[in-house]
Amino acid sequence: MLLNLNQAIIACIAWGILLLIVANFIIAKTNRDEPLAVIAEHLFIAILVITASYFVGSLIKHIN
């Protein structure tokens, strides 16, 4: 079962965010840091990167 492009993009973003949360939780617990702060910081950065890449892609699409 393959997903169409839009569903695949959403699935990949969701899977990546889930992995980011789990990895940051484990690392924060290992370092005895506050997990919520570490997770929030990295989620914020990930959302910025995803948003920026979307808009750069849209800009490139309109240039060509």
pTM recorded for the entire structure? 0.84
At 40, is the secondary structure helix, strand, or coil? helix
- The residue whose two tokens read 């570490």 is 38
DSSP 8-class letter at 31:
T
Q: Domain residue spans in the chain?
A: 5-63
Structure tokens at 58: 């849209």
**Digit-coded pLDDT (tens) for 1-60:** 789 999 999 999 999 999 999 999 999 999 999 999 999 999 999 999 999 999 999 999
Which distant-in-sequence residues (6+ apart) come within 8 Å of 61 by Cβ? none
Which distant-in-sequence residues (6+ apart) come within 8 Å of 29 by Cβ? 35
